Amino acid sequence: MHKYIFLFFIFMGTLGGCTPAEREIISGNGRIIDALNRPYLNELIPERIISLSPAVTEILFAIGAGEKVVGVTEYCDYPEEALNKTSIGGFAGATMSLEQIWSLEPDLVILSADMHERIVMLLDELGISSFAVEPRNFSDVYDVINLIGFITGFSENAEELTENMKKRIAEVEIRIGGRPKPDLLWLLSENPLMSVGRGTFVSQAIDLAGGRNIFDDVNEQWPLISPEQILMRRPQWVITEMQTGQSMSAGITMPFWQTLPAVRDGRVVEINTDLFYRYGPRLAEAVEILSWILHP
């Protein structure tokens, strides 16, 4: 399962009769390995958790572990209850306050393997346990949710959540089954022009929703693109980011846009992109919303 080894399922049955407070994480042959290839060594279920990722924060609240969360980033704005938690700073390591993290006395800090690898060393020096996650696709997301559920003592809730996500996406696939997939441009930025390539949650969500990412042949996750490339691929839909106080679609004013079928026919749609960028429970909702746009 990519970077995650979930051997804990082998021994979960032996822990079923224990309460979360009593249950211990078993190491040894049943090791749990994080996205930085480090074994998880906490013996007891953590009671004070800091999340350094908006996606992880959403997962924790969705599985019922919100009361254990004592610290989040300033970008952890969903669910609304997360706004009441203590902020430790921004998402990037340089904008975080280690002093604030230390003052919250966490049992566990859950962070991003890609963004926070340097933070791990500093946390180790402070004697603060950390666990890194970095799912790359929907399958990884389900695994990460179940893993976070296990180490926080909310396994049943996590499993119920992932099964519900799978069910909702399966229902979308049934509803749109056999329909042609329209070509779609995901406009991440107009200046500079930027889209999404393969290997992203966005590209996979487009596919699951019954569309085709016109840059799914590009290995780079967030490629810079040119007007010529867009014109050659002639997207039938353009999806842009919904922005507070400003419409990105209103900014599509360069002459070349008017030659595209999507713009000419009014198929430029703004969407809440947090649903797609955060590897959490709302990915299923993202697929549903996009499927209704492409296949009403």
Residue carrying the six token digits 């051997």: 7
Same domain flag for 193 and 158: no
Domain final residue pick, 165, 199, 227: 165
pLDDT digits (tens, 9 = 90+) for 220-249: 999 999 999 999 999 999 999 865 444 445
Residue 132 confidence (pLDDT) above 80: yes
Domain final residue pick, 139, 165, 191: 165
The pLDDT value given to residue 12: 37
Mean pLDDT of the chain: 86
In a domain? residue 213: yes
Alpha-carbon torsion (91, 93, 99, 105), positive or negative: positive
Domain count for the chain = 2
Q: What is the pTM of this model?
A: 0.85
Q: What are phi and psi of 30, to 5 degrees?
A: -100, 50
Same domain flag for 238 and 281: yes
What residues have CB less than 8 Å from 286, skipping those under 6 apart? Answer: 205, 209, 275, 276
State how far the Cα of 133 lies from the Cα of 141, in Å rounded to an integer.
Answer: 10
Range of lowest pLDDT (14-18, 61-65, 181-185, 251-255): 14-18
Same domain flag for 207 and 157: no
CATH number of domain containing 204: 3.40.50.1980
Range of lowest pLDDT (37-51, 85-99, 142-156, 174-188): 85-99
